[in-house]
């Protein structure tokens, strides 16, 4: 009797193991296909975001401008932000909103501001949400042909100067140039 019970106990787990293994073999191809359907996207690492904000801040500081610089990821979420000593409190929000706008709309904010001035029907872009700011100083961060975020500078005495400082941040991380070279 003891031998028969032991054999039956061993037989049950083997049957369960066989059923689990069969189910795994049958379902595995479906799991692989589901993971293949997930989108793959590049992520802006914190190290590059930090490098970009500091390079932009240094460029503006060199020229005597007290600014704030923000970098957001592709979803507009803040990754890094710095505010120079003496920069106005408004520059914190303006730099972040410029970065958000550039990442969200995938274009330089100076270009967007000019576009809505030329095409009045696009004025509604200003009111898409409370995070959009149509002033120069925001540039999309494009690396390897993919927009991975945005950089925004606020506080220099002119949008073209904010743009130049933001471009210094892009240059520091090897991102595609978004500001035409000055002659």
Per residue in 57-98, pLDDT tens?
Answer: 999 999 999 999 999 999 999 999 999 999 999 999 999 999
Q: Which two tokens stand for residue 123?
A: 């004025």
Apex CA 97: angle with CA 95 and CA 103, to 5°?
Answer: 105
Q: Do strands 78-83 and 138-143 pair parallel, antiparallel, or not at all (unpaired)?
A: unpaired
Delimit the domains of the chain by residue range: 1-38, 46-173
Q: Which residues, other chains included, contact 2 with Cβ-Cβ below 8 Å and sequence gap of 6+? A: none
Strand order of the β-sheet with 78-83 is: 78-83, 68-73, 146-154, 138-143
| Other residues' Cβ atoms within 10 Å of the Cβ of residue 93 | 15
DSSP state of 157: S
| Other residues' Cβ atoms within 10 Å of the Cβ of residue 158 | 11
| Other residues' Cβ atoms within 10 Å of the Cβ of residue 165 | 29
Question: How many residues are listed for the chain in this entry?
Answer: 183
Per residue in 100-113, pLDDT tens?
Answer: 999 999 999 999 99
CATH 3.30.450.150 fits 46-173, yes or no: yes
6 falls in which pLDDT band (50, 70, 90)? Answer: very low
* Predicted pLDDT at 111: 95
| Other residues' Cβ atoms within 10 Å of the Cβ of residue 143 | 16
Name the residue among 62, 102, 99, 60 with its Cα closest to residue 80: 99
In the predicted model, is pLDDT for residue 183 greater than 60? no
What average pLDDT does the structure give for the chain?
Answer: 88
Q: 71, 150 in Cβ contact below 8 A?
A: yes
Q: Which two tokens stand for residue 126?
A: 């200003």
């Amino acid at each position: 009797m003891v031998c028969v019970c032991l054999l039956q106990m061993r037989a049950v787990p083997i049957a369960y193991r066989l059923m689990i293994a069969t189910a795994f073999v049958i379902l595995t191809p479906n799991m692989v296909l589901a993971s293949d359907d997930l989108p793959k996207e590049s992520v802006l690492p914190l190290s590059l975001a930090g490098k970009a904000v500091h390079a932009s801040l240094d460029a503006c500081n060199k020229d005597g401008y007290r600014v704030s610089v923000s970098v957001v990821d592709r979803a507009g979420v803040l990754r890094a932000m710095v505010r120079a000593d003496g920069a106005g409190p408004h520059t914190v929000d303006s730099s972040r909103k410029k970065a958000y706008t550039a990442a969200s709309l995938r274009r330089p904010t100076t270009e967007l501001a000019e576009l809505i001035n030329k095409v009045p029907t696009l004025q509604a872009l200003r009111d898409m949400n409370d995070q959009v700011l149509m002033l120069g100083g925001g540039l999309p961060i494009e690396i390897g042909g993919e927009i991975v975020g945005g950089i925004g500078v606020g506080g220099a005495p002119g949008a073209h100067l904010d743009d130049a400082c933001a471009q210094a941040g892009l240059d520091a991380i090897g991102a595609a140039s978004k500001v035409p070279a000055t002659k």
